[in-house]
Chains A and B, each alone.
Chain A
Amino acid sequence: MNRLTHLPTLRIQPSKALSLTYNKKRLTGVEGDSVATALYANGIRIFSRSVKYHRPRGLYSLDGESSNCFMAVDGVPNTRTCTTLLKDGMTVNPQNVIGTPEHDWLFFLDYFGWAMPAGFYHRHFHRPYVLWPTFRKWIRKAAGFGNVSKNWEGGIYDELHLNTDVTVIGGGPAGMSAALAAANQGLRIVLIEGRPWLGGFFEYSPEPYTLDIPRYERARELAREIEKHPNIRWFCHTYLMGLYGNHQITAFQKGGEKDYFDERYIEVRSQSVVVATGCIERPLIFEHNERPGVMQVGCAHRLARTYGLLPGTKAVFSVGHDQGLEAALDLHQLGLKIPAVADIRFDGQNPDLVDRLNKSEIRYMRGWVAGKVYGHHQTSKITLRSTEGTREESYDCDVVVASAGHTPVSGPLIMAQAKLRFDLHTGFFLPHRLPGNVHPAGRLWGLTDPHAIECSGMMAGLKAAADCGAADDNRLKDLKEKLKELPGPERGTKLAISPGKPGKQFVCFDEDVTVKNIYQACDMGFDVPELNKRFTAAGTGPGQWGIPGHNLPLVISKYHADSTIPPMPTTIRPPMAPTLMATYAGKRHNIFKRTPAHEWQEKAHAIFRRVGVWKRARYFSKDYSCKTEIETVHQAVGIIDVSTLGKFRLFGPDALKALQRVYIGDMSTVKKGRVKYSAMCNDDGCLIDDGVVTLTAENDYYFTTSTGRAGTTVEWIRYHTRYDGWNFHLVNLTDAYGAINLAGPKARKVLSELTDDDLSNEAFPFTGYREMTLAGKIPARVMRLGFVGELSFEMHVSSSMTGYLWKCLMEAGKPFGIRPFGLEAQNVLRMQKGHVIIGQESEIRTTLHDLGMGGLWYKKPESKTVGAVALKQTKHQKDRLKLVGFKMVEPSDPKRAPKDGSIIVNDTIRGHVCTARYSFILNEAIGLALVEDKYAGIGTQLEIFEDGSDHQRLHAQVVKPPFYDIEGHRIRM
C-alpha cells in the first residue's frame, strides 16, 4: 500500500523498512508503525474474531479500547497491536480462530446469536447434571482469547519509584500546559503520556490553532518546551495503571529501540495530580457497527496523518461532533472519496466546517446517522437513516467512519474517588465532587476549544502548584477570567442507538453484547449499569470498558424511557491499561535477611531454609535425620547460629512496670548476673512468646524473644502500656547483635580457649549471665541456657564480630570435635527435653496451662499483666487440648515415629502430633502431641492416624516429658 509521505504530521520513517511475520507470512512495515498499522498497510483487514459469535473484527481504534486488534505478539497473547510499536523481526499471530481470521471454521456461531441471550449459560447445560462436565469442557475451550506461551522468557522489566511535586497524567495540550504552568512555579513535575509522543488531539490535526499556526505545529511547540524544561521529567509511551489514595500513581512505560528495558513499572508519589487524559470516542451503535471497515474518526484520521495510510478508497462518515467533520475534510483533501457525511446533530455545527464540506462537494446530511452496514466479511455498503428512522439512503463504500461523539477518559478521577454527574449539555459525565489535590483539566471538563483547553490546563497546573505551596493567585484569577471569555463546552449528542434492529447492534465488542442483550438483562431485573454489566458481561472484557463505558449507562437509561433518573457512570478499576504481570513484578526482588554468621555456615555446607524474613541453616549434611549433628551435641560440642532471636534493651525508671505488664512471671526477681526464663501471653492466655530477661544495670534490662516475635515486640509492649504514660525506652537490637549457642559437654573447654574468665560451674552456673571479652577483643554477653539439653553457652556479640567469633570457636573447638548443627538437630534436641517451640507445639487455642507451663505464671494483679485474667479463668477448665509427651508402643514399631501432623483418633479426632522423631540417644521414637484432656493422662494409649494409611493405626502411650536427662543434670554440669 502506498503511503502518504509528504505530511508534516507523520510519525513514521517511510524509508526505513522493518519486517514482521504474520501468520507465517513475511510482511514489511516501516519504522514508527504500530503492529496494527503495519498489518493494515499490508492489506490485512480482518484482525480477529469475536469471542462468542466469531464475527470478523477489524481495526476500530488506535488507542486500544477493544479486543478487535488483539493478537499474540512475540509470544504474548492478547496484545493490543494498535498501541504496540513495530520492532524488526516481530512474530505476530491471530488468536481464537480455527483457520485464519479470514476463514474461521467457527464462523457459523454468528448464526446462533439468538440462542445465546444475556446470561444464557445460567439457564442451560446443568440438566441433567451428568452432562454438565461435558458442556463445561466445551465452554472452557470456547472462552478466552489467546493462548499462554508456556515457555515465554520475556525480557528486562525495570522499576522506577519516583517522588515529585506534581504528577500530570496526559501529554496533550491541557496536560502540557498544566505541566509548564506548575514547572514555572519552580516545582518538580512528572508527566506521563500513553502515546509514544506528546501532543494529544492537537498532534495530528491540521486545523488552525491560530490563524497562521496549525494545531499540530502548536503541539510540537509545547512538546519542545516540555522536553527542554529542567523541572519536568516526562515519560512517553507510558500508560497509567492506577491513581490511588495520597496521590500515588502507578504506570508502565514501554521500552523503545534504544531503551535497555522492555517495560518499566513506574510508581510516583506526589503532592498533587493533574488529570488531563482527554477524550476517547463514544462508539456509535448501529446494526453491524463492528464490521471490519467501520472505524472511529480518530482511527481513520490518524491512520492517514500519523501513519500515512488512507483507510480505504471510499468512506461514509457518520459522526456527531465537529472533530468528525474536520477529519472528513482533511481525509477528503488527502484523497479519500467521501460520498456522504451524516451528522447526528440538526444544529450546533461550526458553520465554517459545513461551508467547507459543501464546497468540497461532500453530501452533508444533518440529522442522519448510520443505520446498517452490509458486507459479508468487510464493509461494502452502508444504509444511512434519518435519526427518527423514517428515511433511508444507501451508499457503497469500503470504510465507515463512525462516532457518536466524545467521552472524557475520567477513569483516573473515578479511581481517585471523585464523583461524576451526567451533564445534559455535553452528554458527558463531568466532575462533580473532587477529592483534594486532584485537578482535572481540558476535555475532562467538556472543553473543545483549543485555547480554552490550554487555559484550563494552566489553571489546573497552578492549582496543583498551590497544593505544593507555590500558589500564584493573581495569575489563576486572570486565567479564570480568560477562560470565561473563551468558548465553553460544545453541546454533545444524546443519541445512544441509531434506529434499527437491536439484535446486531453491539454495545460491547469484547463480550459480544448487543443492545438486545442489555434489554433482556434489564427485563430480568438487572436494570442498573452496575448489575447489568455483571449479568451481560458488557465492559468486563479485556478492552476494559473502552467501548461500552459511556454507552451502557445511556442504553439502560433509554430502557427506562420514562425515568427521570440520570445515567450513572460505573466504577472504573485499576489497571487502566492491561498490564503484564512481568511488568508489575518488575525486578522481583527476593528480600531476606542473612545472619552475620551466614558465610561461615555456607562454608560448612549448610542447607538453608527461609524462615520468616530469615535464611537459616536447617541441616549441615544431606542426612536429614541429623544423626551426626545430634550426637556431636550429646557427646562433644556443637555450635549453632541463633542470631535470629529477638534481642531488646528496655530501660528507664518504669522499665520494670512495662516488663511486669507483658511477662507473666514476676520480673521483680530479675537480677544482675542471672537470666530469668519467662513467657508472654495474649489476652486469651495463649502463649505467644518466650525468652530470657536479665538486668544489666539499674532499670536497664536486656531480653530475648523468639525469632517470629522480633518484629512485633516493640509494638506489643507499646500497645499494652499506651495509657500509662510510663517512662521507659525500648531498643530493638535484633540486627545489632549476632548470637551463637555453643552446646555440648565440651562447651566449657572450648570457650575457655577464648577467655581467661572463670567459666567453672561454681563461678558461672546454669542461668548465669556474664559480660566478658572473648578472643581478646570481642565484647560478649554470655548466658548459660539449656534449650538443647546439654551444657551450653549462648553468646551475644555485635553483628560485625559474630562471624569472627564463629571462626574462633570453630578453631578452638577443633580438638574437641566441634561441629555446627542446624535447626532440625536443635528441634530434636529440644523435643527430647520437652521444650516447646511456639507455633509448633502451641496453637491459637493453646494456653500456658495447656502446655503445662502454668508454673511460669505469677499472680500480680497490680501489674494488669496481659493474659492474666484468661490464665485465671482457664486454669481448671475442662475439655481443652493439652500438650503431652508420648512414645511409640507395641504393636507399632517403637522406633518408628509418626509423621508430624498425623492425627490422634478414636471414634473422632482427638488431637494431633506436633513433633515426633526417633531419638538416637534414647533409641526409641518419641514425640509431643496436643490431645483432648481426657486422653492426656500418663499411660493413656493413643491411636495415631497418618495420612494415606487407610485404616492402619499407629499406637503410642502418653508419657511425661522430658524424655532425656529428666533431672536436668547435663545442663547444670
Chain B
Amino acid sequence: MFGKYKRLWKKSRLKSSYDAVIIGGGLHGISTAYFLAKNYGMTDVAILEKRYIGFGGAGRNTAIVRANQRTKENLRLYDEGLKLWPKLMQELDFNMLFFNCGNLNLAHSEAGMSALRLQVASAQFHGIQSELVNAKQCKELVPVLDISDRLAFPIFGGMYHPPGGTLRPESVLWGIAKGASQKGVQIHQETEVKSLEIKNNKVVSVKTGDGKKIHTPRVLNAAGGYSALIANMAGIRLPVDVLPIQAMVSQPLKPFLDHVVSSGVYHAYANQSLKGEVVTGSHMDPWPGYTTQVTARYIKHQAEALTELMPCLRGVKFMRTWGGLADMTPDMAPIIDGNHPIDGFYIDCGWGYFGFKSAPVTGKYMAKFMATGKCPEILKPFTMKRFAQHRLSGETASPVNYGPWN
C-alpha cells in the first residue's frame, strides 16, 4: 500500500573529498549531518560508520526523554530538545512513536526528596513542567507501585515531569537518516576510520579501513562509546571511561504502566513501550570495559528492584537483555569542542547514558558550530577545558565512582 518501498537512505560511492566527514553513524552524527544540510546548506557530508547505523548506543538505549536536569546549562538544552521531537516527526514525515507519558522519579528518603526539590525548583524556574509529589500521589499516577513500608527503601515521594516520555530509538535514527539522505548526505556503513591526517595542527583527511584517503577540512568525532579511540587518532586523550550498561525488556503486555518510573536508589527504571513491553534498565557495570556482553547479575538485580517497587511485575516475564557502552566523563556532562586543540576537529561525545535525549538538539547546534567554526553559547559549558580548570559540571551531585581513580 501507499507506494513503493524505497530505500530510507541511499547507497552511494565513497568520494575522495567532502566538506565534512562525520565519524559515527549514531544519533549525534546523523543529526549533525541532517542539520548541516538543512540549516547551513552543507550537503557534501559523509557519515562513516564502522558497522551499521545505530549499532552503538542509538540502537541500544531505552529512549527515555526528559527535561528535568539538575543544572541550568543542561535544562536549557534538554528543554529545547524535548520540544523538538514533534517538530522532527512532521519535518521528516516519519513517525518516531513519541509518547510523552511523563516521568516519575522516586525518592526514598528525606535527602532524596531534597535532591529532587532542587531539580523541580530549577525546572519550574525555567518554565518547565515538573512537580514534587508525595507517596500517595505517586500511587495515583502509577497504581501498581507499592508505597507501603514493606520495601527496603520505602517510597517517600517523587518528581513528576509530565512532558517527558519515550520514543522508539531506532525509528528516530531511521527517520533522521532518511532526512539527511534526502538532503544529500551520504551514509557509508561498514566503513571504518583507521587514522586521521593532521598537518600544521589542522585536519586534512581521514583514512578508512580499506585504505582510502578522504580529504576534508572538518571532522566530527561522534563515535559514542568509541570516541576516545577516535580522539586518540588525533593525539587527544579524552577524560572518558567507557562502561558497559545493560537494559532489558519483558514480554509484551496490555497497557498497565502509564509513565516512566525510575528510582535512583534502586538503580532501576521501567516504562511500557507502545508495543507493550516493559522496558527497563539498570546502572552500569562497576568497572570500565568495551564489552557489550551482558551479565547474570544485572538482570537479577533488576528483577529484585522492580518486583519490590511494583509487586505485580513478579508475574511478568523477561524476554531479552542486551548491553551497550556508556562513554562517561568525570562529571557526567558531555564533551563538546571544536578547533581545539586541532583546527577542524570537532568532538561531540561523553554523553554517557544521556546521548539519546540530547541528540537532535545537540546536532542542531553542533551543525552551527561546524558551519560557522564558532561554538554556540548553549554548548559552551561543555568544553573540555573545564576539566583542566577543575570546573566540573554539577549535573551529578556527588563525585562519580567508575574506579579507584575517581
Contacts and interface: CB of A to CB of B under 8 A. Distances in A.
A918 interface: no
Contacts of A880: 391
Given A152-B312, A609-B109, A719-B405, A874 B118 contact: no
Given A530-B52, A908-B72, A586 B7 contact: no
Contact of A585 (B132, B300, B401): B300
B321 A575 contact: yes
Given A154-B315, A523-B7, A584-B299, A686 B304 contact: no
Which of A244, A684, A686, A946 is most buried by chain B, counting CB atoms within 10 A of its CB?
A684
B308 A148 contact: no
B390 interface: yes
A144 B273 CA distance: 10
A140 B94 CA distance: 18
Contacts of A618: 110
Contacts of A946: 117, 121
Contact of A947 (B115, B124, B275): B124
Interface string A544-577: 1000000000000000000000000000011100
Nearest to A572: B320
Interface stretch (A31-39, A443-451, A487-495, A840-848): A840-848
A122 interface: yes
Contact of B392 (A78, A824, A845): A845
Given A123-B2, A844-B399, A947 B394 contact: no
A117 B5 contact: yes
Given A524-B7, A844-B394, A947-B117, A152 B314 contact: yes
A671 B117 CA distance: 44
B251 A78 contact: yes
Contacts of A873: 389-390
Interface residues of A, number: 114
Interface in A780-804: none
A114 B174 CA distance: 23
Interface in B247-300: 250-256, 274-276, 293-296, 299-300
Interface string A113-127: 011011011111111
B14 interface: no
A574 B253 contact: no
B275 A143 contact: yes
Contacts of A537: 275
Given A144-B253, A844-B398, A877 B389 contact: yes
Which of B116, B307, B313 is most buried by chain A, counting CB atoms within 10 A of its CB?
B307
Nearest to A113: B1
A541 B276 CA distance: 11
A141 B118 contact: no
Interface in B388-406: 389-394, 396-401, 404-406
Interface stretch (A172-180, A365-373, A894-902): A894-902
Nearest to B52: A531
Contacts of B390: 684-686, 847, 870, 873-874, 877
A401 interface: no
Interface string B176-209: 0000000000000000000000000000000000
Contact of A592 (B72, B152, B318, B399): B152
Given A117-B5, A610-B153, A843 B394 contact: yes
Which of A683, A874, A947 is most buried by chain B, counting CB atoms within 10 A of its CB?
A947
Contacts of A688: 399
A713 to B, nearest CB: 10
A877 B171 CA distance: 46
Contacts of A863: none
A840 B86 CA distance: 39
B252 A909 contact: no
B256 A147 contact: yes
A139 B171 CA distance: 16
Given A524-B6, A901-B121, A581 B318 contact: yes
Nearest to A541: B252
B399 A129 contact: no
A903 B118 contact: yes
Contacts of A899: 114, 117
B144 interface: yes
A136 B274 contact: yes
Nearest to A523: B5
A117 B6 CA distance: 13
Contacts of B152: 590, 592, 610
A534 interface: yes
A244 B114 contact: no
Given A899-B117, A901-B115, A843 B406 contact: no
Contacts of B97: 121-122, 136
Contacts of A520: 5
B12 interface: no
A578 interface: yes
B317 interface: yes
B116 A136 contact: no
A528 interface: yes
Contacts of B113: 901
A114 B165 CA distance: 31
Nearest to A717: B404
A886 to B, nearest CB: 16
Contact of B317 (A132, A578, A592, A840): A578
Interface in A892-917: 899-903, 905, 908-909, 912
A172 B181 CA distance: 52
Interface in A385-426: 417
Interface in B305-339: 306-308, 312-322, 330-331
B251 to A, nearest CB: 4
A844 B315 contact: no
A715 interface: yes
A684 B406 CA distance: 10
Contact of B144 (A96, A120, A150, A535): A150
A523 B4 CA distance: 9
B355 to A, nearest CB: 18
B95 interface: yes
Interface in B192-240: none
A900 B116 CA distance: 10
B295 A903 contact: no
B328 to A, nearest CB: 13
A129 B274 contact: no
Nearest to B396: A844
A254 B125 CA distance: 54
B254 A144 contact: yes
A147 B397 contact: no
Contacts of B317: 78, 542, 578-581
B304 A585 contact: yes
Interface in B77-104: 86, 89-90, 93-99
B95 A148 contact: no
B65 interface: no
A69 to B, nearest CB: 14
A242 interface: yes
A955 B264 CA distance: 32
Interface string A843-866: 111010000000000000000000
B36 interface: no
A248 B59 contact: no
B1 A839 contact: no
25 contacts: A122-B97, A122-B175, A127-B90, A141-B254, A144-B254, A145-B253, A148-B144, A242-B294, A244-B295, A267-B296, A524-B7, A525-B7, A542-B317, A579-B318, A581-B314, A582-B315, A584-B302, A585-B300, A585-B303, A588-B307, A712-B404, A824-B110, A845-B394, A900-B117, A903-B125
Interface of A: 51, 75-78, 96, 114-115, 117-118, 120-127, 129, 132, 136, 139-141, 143-152, 154, 242, 244-245, 248, 250, 265, 267, 417, 520-521, 523-525, 528, 530-531, 534-535, 537, 540-542, 544, 573-575, 578-586, 588, 590, 592, 609-611, 618, 682-686, 688, 712, 715-716, 718-719, 824, 839-840, 843-845, 847, 870, 873-874, 877, 880-881, 899-903, 905, 908-909, 912, 945-948
